[in-house]
Structures are given as C-alpha cells and as structure tokens.
Amino acid sequence: MSVFRTTGQAVAALAVLLVVWAGIIEPRYLLDVNEFDAPLPGLTQDWEGQEVALLADFQVGMWLDNKGMVSKAVREIIDRDVEVALIAGDFMYRPDSSRILEAVELVKPLPEAGVQTFAVLGNHDYSLMKEKSDARPDLAGYLEQVLEQEGIQVLKNQAARVAIEDSSPLYVVGIGSVWAHHAHPATALEQVPEGAPRIVLMHNAEAFEDVPAGTAPLALAGHTHGGQIRLPMLKSTSWLDIVGKEEVVADGWASEEQTPEGNNLYVNRGIGFSNLPVRLFTRPELTIFRLRPEQTFSMR
C-alpha cells in the first residue's frame, strides 16, 4: 500500500506542478522574443537593420486573460526602439464596448512612443467564436474606430505606405478576416507598386492560400496560439494535431511544401488564450524581424 500511496502522491504533486506551470508561470512570466533577419526584395539600404515587431491574439475579456503579458510585450517593443509594430488581430475574446476600450488601452503606448503601428482584425474581434457563428460587424467597427483614434491604422484589404526619414517606402499589406468573409488578398496586393518591398499581414493563415506566388516575401499571421498546449517530450506536436488540424501551420515558418514560390509565411503563437487560460510549451511570443535589403528571401 505504501508504494501505491507514494506513487499517488507523486502523481498528485506532478499534476499540481503542471497546473501551476501551464496556468501561471509559462503564460504570465515567460515571454519568448524570437528574432529573425528578414531580407526583402526591393528594400533600400535606408531600412538596413530597422526592426518590425509582430504581436497577435490578446483575447482580452476571456476569464483570467493575459493583459499583463500584453503590456510586457508592448514595453519590450518600445524599449527596443522598434520602427514598425504589426498586430495580427484577436484583440478581443468576446467584444463589448468596455472591453474594447480596455484592449486599446494596452496598445496605445506604441503610437504614443512613435512606433508606426498597423493592425488587422481577427475572428474574435467580430465576435466569431466559431466559423459559423453570427458576426458582430458593429463591434468590430467600434474597435477599428477606437484603434484609429489612438493612431493605430487598421487595414482591411488595404496597403499602407511606411517610410522613415529620407527612405524609399515599405508597404504593409493588411488582409481582412477570413471567418468574417472579408479576406481579399488580391485587392490588397494590387495597391502595392510593382517591385515595391512589402510585408503582408493577416490574422488567419488560411488567407495565405489565396496569396499569389511571388507577392508575399514576408507574410505574417497569428490565430493558432501555437496550439496552446503541446505534448511534453513531443514539442512539435500540439493540440491542433490531436484534433485533426495537421495541415495548419501552428507556429513558426511554414515549410516549402506549404508556400508558393517566392512567398514566406510566419505564424506567431500569440499571447492570450482560447477556452482555457493555460499554455504548455507554447510560451507567449513577440517576434522581431530585422529588415535587410536583398533580392530574395527564404527562411527554409
């Protein structure tokens, strides 16, 4: 009996440790800052070494949400003197007017600090908890309005011209929400002059499937939370694999088989939660891209 009692105590202790780690330590104290060089075709030397930050999936309003980590990531961006910040949507979990103001309060220090900040909206920003839920474009419109008032430009199938002093422009191309049926990559990309450097921003990487080859040397997305829970000792396997989403790029760089020639896709793990306020081997992520003027770009 003592063996069974000892084993039971060990299992209970491990379970408690796992809950503390996944519910408190990893999501709320451990921010991954992943850095990559990003050579963009057509980029001029003026942009050499300038940094672009990527954030995603705050999910403000979920029970035990992760607002503290959002603030930590925003401070990191400001402290690094990043030139451009990109937010890949899902500011909200279930949007309402008060929570919208709360979410915008977290990110408005970026434009206040002089960081050129752009965003797209995600499915949760339209109150789309599931793909076939009823959308709330009124709430998404209010979120967009408040973000714009604070100096954060929201792109919905639009291209924004970004410049630094005495430089040639870089374009940020924002694609609308897939689940809200607003994703029209061709409409957005046709606004970019031929051969001009561009970064393509979307919430859900499903939109990447409709991006023509050779038009998105650096495409960025969120949405997946990296699977949010990965299996111990099998960190390449996430909850998305278990539920049959094997073709989804859970996080990181998409493989060559998943990207048309001349395109590259990176998926950020985000900061917040969906369904449960836990992260296991999927730390919240801030991604930093150091721009380089090059003819071609491939991380594979």
Structural domain that includes position 139 = 31-293
Lowest-pLDDT range of 163-177, 205-219, 249-263:
249-263
| pLDDT tens figures, 173-226 | 999 999 999 999 999 999 999 999 999 999 999 999 999 999 999 999 999 999
21 part of a folded domain? no
Q: How many domains does the chain have?
A: 1
Per-residue confidence (pLDDT) for residue 294, from 0 to 100: 76
Lowest-pLDDT range of 39-43, 166-170, 198-202, 282-286:
166-170
146 part of a folded domain? yes
Q: What is the CATH number of the domain that holds 107?
A: 3.60.21
| pLDDT tens figures, 133-146 | 888 999 999 999 99
Report which of 170, 174, 76 is spatially closest to residue 119, judged by C-alpha positions. 174
5 part of a folded domain? no
What's the distance, CA 161 to chain centroid?
Answer: 21
20 part of a folded domain? no
16 part of a folded domain? no
| pLDDT tens figures, 146-162 | 999 999 999 999 999 99
17 part of a folded domain? no
More confident residue, 261 or 145: 145
59 part of a folded domain? yes
Query: What angle separates helix 97-107 from helix 137-149, to the nearest 10 degrees?
Result: 30
Measured distance CA(274)–CA(276) in Å, rounded: 6
CA distances from 175 to 74, 172, 183 (A): 23, 10, 6
More confident residue, 295 or 163: 163
Q: Which two tokens mark 62?
A: 């979920």
285 part of a folded domain? yes
